[in-house]
Chain A
Amino acid sequence: MTGLQCIEAAIRIDKNGQVPVVPQIFGHAAVLSGMPVDEYLTSGDALASCQLAALGRYGHHAVFSVMDVCVEAEAMGAKTVHHPNNYPCIEQYVSSEDAINSSRVPNPLKDGRMPEMLKAISIMRRETKEETLVVGCVMGPMTLAMQYVGVQEALFMAVEHPLLFEKLLDHVTDVIIEFGRAQIDAGAHLPIIFDPSSSPEVIPPQFFREIVLQRLKRISSAFKQGGAVANWLHIAGKTLPILPHYPDAGIDMANCDYCIEPAMVRRFLPGICLDGNIKPLSFVEDSSEDIYKESVRLVKSFAGQGGFVLSSGCEIPPESRPENIEAMVKAAKECHF
């Protein structure tokens, strides 16, 4: 089986077959290739070449056209500051009501760094020859709203100006759908929906159910219609209170952060493929023996069940030790469901 076939089987919850392994390698690919992170984050050619080099070294099963959490907000007009060897951040949010009301949906083919992400997707799809999952990335609605107007401002707006906040969420949902569909058109098998700000550690579960869920449904439905092979949702932290809503949101694959046990999540989500959940910092601080042992333990906890992708709980830190990622991939390749 190819890596892509392994992942497709896991999404179907096939009970047999090889365990797919998808370390969430983003900026680490640049560090591994000795490229300045900012070059990686601004050039589709650079991003693709580093991702493909990492794929060549580790032999895992997915490549990511993921830059950072600022891409959409930047294309919408928020000002960013870039650093040579770190992720950029928003320097000036778009905060006035007028600015929000007049905000337009950016054109993924022209605005900000969106075209570079699309370019990376096209290159990687061509080069991986249907053997590897090519993953794009969109921010989820809560995360993009917060990236656009600021975390504090967005949360207070949700309470004090709920109509304006819902209007903002509808607008960012349009942005997400437009960008995600452009990624699918460019060759992504799916765009991962990255929404850490929807975590119950940030907003109450009722808020997720009443305000966020309907937007996630719109996004996942649009992605499926656009040709995504699956909808992959990434919400960090202790997500147990919101897991029961995932099937309703049209999610096929869900990330488990390091603080929740995937085997327990399976009881809440029997029909959804899970990925996780090695602690990201372990790839920096722990030994390859530790990573190998934890990987085997995780895979064994899904023995006979299928529907699991061995991964990190969140992004693998850029400064991670390569031998630790090799240990995770080795463990997955030696195990079967």
Chain B
Amino acid sequence: MKQMQRLIDALLDGDRQQALDEARRLVSEGATPDSIVINAIEPAMNRLDAKCTVEQFNLLEIMLVGRCLTAVVNEIFPQGMTASLTKGCVVIATLEGDVHDIGKNITKMLLASKGYNVVDCGKDCSVQKLCDTAEAQKADAVFVSGLITSVIPNVKKIKEELETKGLGCIMVVAGGAALKQSTSDHLNVDFVAENAFEGLHYLESKIGARNN
């Protein structure tokens, strides 16, 4: 663990170059990519999660750490994360009528760093495209982010569309400035997350329960 500490510090510092240098050093010293994920990336994520309490959460810090995590994951898994580390598949989008995708991108980064295969349907995405992708990818969950209230009618249609396809078992998680003002009942989703970490916790609890 001690040899991983400098990478953890660099990740939490948001220092991309330092993090990449440390990851390369660890690999050259014989560390496996899997061990870097388990002993550096996951502890760094957990520390960030603990730090991101309601008062301390800010986009700038999360984005800097997220950029480091992405760079390190791409460095140690140039062909993509190994199947043994993939916990499940999440399809993510900002729905039709909304082009604000920063929240979606942060959530995508957190989920990917935690070992999920994240399929990004982009912004201004139709419910149809989202659900078709979830079907094709055999997704475990669908995450949608919304900054403006006008996307709410589209959010309400997701469950219905998934059920039409016989995919009612796919979890639907909503978040973002507009959607988090509402409730899961109003939005017809499984969970409304206050922030990206809360969405991740919900997913982990459900996937964990399913795998046990």
Contact = CB atoms under 8 A, between A and B. Distances in A.
A280 B181 contact: yes
A281 B59 contact: no
A241 B55 contact: yes
A318 B150 contact: yes
Interface residues on B, range: 20 to 34
Given A238-B55, A317-B150, A319-B149, A204 B181 contact: no
A203 interface: yes
B211 to A, nearest CB: 33
Given A86-B148, A281-B178, 11 more contacts: A86-B150, A87-B148, A200-B58, A201-B59, A202-B58, A203-B58, A241-B55, A279-B181, A280-B181, A317-B150, A318-B150
Contact of A155 (B60, B148, B152, B177): B60
Contacts of A236: 177
A281 B67 CA distance: 33
A1 interface: no
A158 B60 contact: yes
A207 B63 CA distance: 15
Contact of B54 (A87, A238, A258): A238
B185 to A, nearest CB: 10
B181 A155 contact: no
Given A152-B102, A258-B181, A319 B60 contact: no
Contacts of A318: 150
Contacts of A317: 149-150
Contact of A280 (B59, B149, B150): B149
30 contacts: A86-B97, A89-B99, A151-B59, A151-B102, A152-B63, A152-B102, A155-B59, A155-B60, A155-B63, A156-B64, A156-B67, A159-B60, A202-B58, A202-B60, A203-B58, A203-B59, A204-B58, A204-B60, A204-B61, A236-B177, A238-B55, A241-B55, A279-B181, A280-B181, A281-B149, A281-B178, A281-B181, A281-B182, A282-B181, A285-B182
A87 B177 CA distance: 16
B142 to A, nearest CB: 21
Nearest to B194: A259
B77 interface: no
B199 interface: no
B190 to A, nearest CB: 19
A319 B64 CA distance: 36
Interface residues on A, range: 20 to 34
B69 to A, nearest CB: 15
Nearest to A151: B102
Contacts, number: 59
Per CB-CB distance, the 9 closest pairs between chain A and chain B, nearest first, are A281-B181, A317-B149, A202-B59, A89-B99, A155-B60, A151-B102, A203-B60, A204-B58, A279-B181
A159 B102 contact: no
A186 interface: no
A196 to B, nearest CB: 9
Contacts of B14: 159
A204 B51 CA distance: 13
Interface in B29-71: 54-55, 57-61, 63-64, 67
Contacts of A203: 58-60
A86 B154 CA distance: 15
Interface of A: 86-87, 89, 151-152, 155-156, 158-159, 200-204, 207, 236, 238, 240-241, 258, 279-282, 284-285, 317-319
B210 interface: no
A201 to B, nearest CB: 6
A240 B105 CA distance: 26
A258 B57 CA distance: 17
Contacts of A202: 58-60
Contacts of A281: 149, 178, 181-182
Contacts of B177: 236
A236 B177 CA distance: 10
Among A240, A284, A318, the one with the most B-chain Cβ atoms within 10 Å of its Cβ is: A284
Contacts of A159: 14, 60, 64
A201 B58 contact: yes
B186 interface: yes
Nearest to A200: B58
A304 B128 CA distance: 55
A163 to B, nearest CB: 18
Contacts of A280: 149, 181
A258 B54 CA distance: 15
A46 B186 CA distance: 34
Among B55, B60, B63, B67, the one with the most A-chain Cβ atoms within 10 Å of its Cβ is: B60
Among B14, B59, B178, the one with the most A-chain Cβ atoms within 10 Å of its Cβ is: B59
A155 to B, nearest CB: 5
A178 B35 CA distance: 56
A315 to B, nearest CB: 9
Contacts of A201: 57-59
A89 B55 CA distance: 29
